[in-house]
Amino acid sequence: MPEINPTEPSNFIEQIITEDIKQGKNQGKVHTRFPPEPNGYLHIGHAKSICLNFGLAQKFGGKCNLRFDDTNPVKEEQEYIDAIMRDVRWLGFDWEDRLFHASDYFEQLCAWAEKLIQDGKAYVCDLSAEDVRLTRGTLTQPGKESPFRIRSVEENLDLFRRMKAGEFPDGSHTLRAKIDMAAPNLNLRDPVLYRILRATHPRTGDQWCIYPMYDWAHGQSDSIEGITHSICTLEFEDHRPLYDWFVEQLGIHHPQQIEFARLNLSYTVMSKRKLLQLVRDGRVSGWDDPRMPTLSGLRRRGYTPEAIRNFTERIGLAKRASVVDVAFLEHCLREDQNQPAPRRMAVLRPLKVVIENYPEGQVEQMEAINNPEDPSAGMRLLPFSRELYIERDDFREEPPPKFFRLAVGREVRLRYGYIIKCERVIKDATTGEVIELRCTYDPTPLAQITRKVKSTLHWVSAQAAVNAEVRLYDHLFTQEDPEDVPEGEDWTAGLNPNSLEILTGCKLEPILAEAESGYHCQFERQGYFCADLDSKPGRPVFNRSVGLKDEWGRLEKKQGAGG
RNA sequence: UGGGAUGUCGUCCAACGGCAGGACACAUGACUCUGGAUCAUGGUAUCGGGGUUCGAAUCCCUGCAUCCCAGCCA
């Protein structure tokens, strides 16, 4: 990664913090936090926030907490808590001893609620959820004050304590802040602080039957933790006046909230609600389906923490709502993998080649470079034999213009092998499908060949090949913007029916037989692949993480488009 | 229609009153035992209209467009 110069702010938040330090705010300290709700798995958008918050702490010599905003037990689960911690660690960040939960502060939050009541700034409201909605007013009209707004401090205190003690049924009462029902900012129209909710909380179990609303818990949690810069996404800009009001009423440490635009990716949905729906409806195999933008999905797909960190750094940071081209994410993976990934031979859609003038039964061990980008990666041996597999795509009966690969009468080079010439084609008698190529080879070692040969193909010895399953992925959605669907349809209408293609009977070079899950390599001329969780010794399963840039593919598409 | 925000290449981000720059994408070429990688080259942008200024993407006025807010979700 490029050296970061701490004196040179790289985005507007760093500018603000640099200025704050210069002004001596917070005694020059920087303390941030990453505050997920454990109601789903982390995705690449969260990675942006994680890298930002932990990165800021690193850059300015401060600290970053991990805090679960676990205020809604109805949606939150231990599975998510575990997954989130796993993913943050995997991304490369360490919260050390600073693992916190909003639920750690439930007692304190209650005490503060009582203080608000004492000060006449909060009241218990008996209105139903429906009535609260009806009296909130609209965007253009002020709300109506609740008839319970005028209750005495004593009555409010008594009622609130009885709410907490479990004397009232769910939904029968709320504690509300007494602010301004006519405020143009809807968040200030007597927001609910507590609701009665009998649900088992992943951490506190059945200890509580009232739970604080996020708005009531979040700012105070930051305050308790001594957060100096409370970084969140744009939609909370409207809530800032409310958070400010709370800490002011309470007279406690006032974190500075700074909002930034969340990450959107083309051809991708990024809301946890939608991702959850994809999982629940079985549109994907799970949260870690390699097509998912979740960190667990990207990891399984073959993305590395470095690639993701670099991506989040390079997309920049601003307040403008934007959509990053998913091609840029893919670029970051290629860039990350080009230097380190060992090169391997793999034929995905095999076509048999018989070299008629190559001695039957003979096997030569050809020396192959493991990684042309890294001489220290050394060499390996590749068995060459009379029968081979090449890629079906590398042969055409009627080669279009600019197609440099194999055709009858043409020569190509087999990488680390020999030059072969296609003599004739054998077809299936009934279907007419090409099932075998009969070729001859030039026994001259490649190093001594002086004539120009246009193309180099990858290949695998038929005898030595390892059978494998390879999974190819495409974007989950066919539309750049999944919301851009015909009238009356919802976002699932744009789901790409071809986002997963499973190839069986792929032929890998022998060394790949024992690849362990998580093993990354490049299949030459095709892309970066990694062994999937489902991979077993002797029965490898590979995921295509990202394809290589494909000039011929582009040309072909252009030709197909008649251009 | 109230409030909050945002408008710069196709996309993302810079430029903080002084030559609009980078990355991705795209195009062209060089090189190549990966049509990979690498290298070179090219095109395309300041939302509109006024104003201030020697000078405006930047400051002021005005219009327009887009996003967010009417959960006892976060």
Through-space separation of residue A405 CA and nucleotide B28 C1' in angstroms: 23
- Cα–Cα distances in angstroms (integers) from residue A134 to residues A127, A142, A143, A149, A172, in the given order: 10, 11, 8, 16, 16
In a domain, A187, yes or no: yes
Our answer to whether residue A37 is catalytic in this structure is: yes
Among A458, A489, A507, which residue terminates a domain?
A458
Our answer to whether residue A149 is catalytic in this structure is: no
**Which are the contacts of A436, defined by CB distance < 8 A and separation ≥ 6?**
A351, A352, A353, A354, A425, A426
Q: What is the pLDDT of residue A58?
A: 97
Q: Is residue A4 within 8 Å of A59, Cβ to Cβ?
A: yes
Among A458, A475, A501, which residue terminates a domain?
A458
Task: Say if residue A251 is in the same domain as residue A385.
Answer: no
In a domain, A368, yes or no: yes
For the cut 60, the answer to whether the pLDDT of residue A1 exceeds it is no
Q: Which nucleotide C1' is nearest A136 CA?
A: B70
pLDDT tens per residue across span A490-547: 999 999 999 999 999 999 999 999 999 999 999 999 999 999 999 999 999 999 999 9
Task: Say if residue A222 is in the same domain as residue A355.
Answer: no
DSSP run (H or E) holding A557: helix A551-560
Domain assignment of residue A408, given as a range? 346-458
Task: Say if residue A237 is in the same domain as residue A99.
Answer: yes
Return the exposure string of A515-550: e unless at least 16 CB atoms fall within 10 Å of the residue's CB, then b.
beeebbbbbbbbbbbbbbeebeeeebbbbbbbbbee
- Cα–Cα distances in angstroms (integers) from residue A156 to residues A59, A132, A159, A328, A418, in the given order: 47, 18, 5, 55, 88
The catalytic residue among A67, A189, A272, A344 is A272
Give the percent of chain A with pLDDT over 70.
98
**Which are the contacts of A332, defined by CB distance < 8 A and separation ≥ 6?**
A307, A308, A310, A311, A314
Through-space separation of residue A320 CA and nucleotide B47 C1' in angstroms: 15
What distance in Å separates the CA atoms of residue A522 and residue A236, rounded to the nearest whole number? Answer: 43
For the cut 60, the answer to whether the pLDDT of residue A563 exceeds it is no
In a domain, A449, yes or no: yes
In a domain, A494, yes or no: no
In CATH, what number is assigned to the domain containing residue A97? 3.40.50.620
Where does the pLDDT of residue A94 fall: very low under 50, low under 70, confident under 90, or very high at 90 and above? Answer: very high
Structure tokens at A26: 């917070």
Q: Which nucleotide C1' is nearest A418 CA?
A: B33
In a domain, A322, yes or no: no
Name the packing angle between helices A305-314 and A326-338 (round to 10°). 130
Task: Say if residue A86 is in the same domain as residue A198.
Answer: yes
In a domain, A419, yes or no: yes
Tokens 């209408």 -> residue: A493
What distance in Å separates the CA atoms of residue A64 and residue A67, rounded to the nearest whole number? Answer: 10
In a domain, A100, yes or no: yes
Q: Where are the beta strands (DSSP E) in A376-474?
A: 379-385, 387-391, 411-414, 419-427, 434-442, 456-457, 459-461, 466-473
For the cut 70, the answer to whether the pLDDT of residue A4 exceeds it is no
Among A215, A234, A260, which residue terminates a domain?
A260
Task: Average the pLDDT over A109-136 and give the result.
Answer: 98
Secondary structure class of A70 (helix, strand, coil): coil
- Is the interface score ipTM higher than 0.90? yes
Task: Say if residue A237 is in the same domain as residue A378.
Answer: no
What distance in Å separates the CA atoms of residue A314 and residue A51, rounded to the nearest whole number? Answer: 11
Q: Which nucleotide C1' is nearest A480 CA?
A: B11
For the cut 70, the answer to whether the pLDDT of residue A7 exceeds it is no
Task: Say if residue A351 is in the same domain as residue A256.
Answer: no
Task: Say if residue A85 is in the same domain as residue A218.
Answer: yes
Going by C-alpha positions, the residue among A255, A253, A249, A252 that lies closest to residue A122 is A249
Q: Is residue A234 within 8 Å of A261, Cβ to Cβ?
A: yes
Tally of domains within chain A: 2
Where does the pLDDT of residue A559 fall: very low under 50, low under 70, confident under 90, or very high at 90 and above? Answer: confident
Task: Say if residue A350 is in the same domain as residue A254.
Answer: no
Q: What is the pLDDT of residue A487?
A: 78
Task: Say if residue A227 is in the same domain as residue A107.
Answer: yes
In a domain, A335, yes or no: no
Between CA A153 and CA A160, with CA A159 as vertex, the angle to 5 degrees is 85
Our answer to whether residue A133 is catalytic in this structure is: no
Q: Is residue A257 within 8 Å of A246, Cβ to Cβ?
A: no
User: Nearest-CA residue to the C1' of B8?
Assistant: A320
| Average pLDDT of chain A, as a whole number | 96
In CATH, what number is assigned to the domain containing residue A452? 2.40.240.10
The catalytic residue among A29, A37, A77, A155 is A37
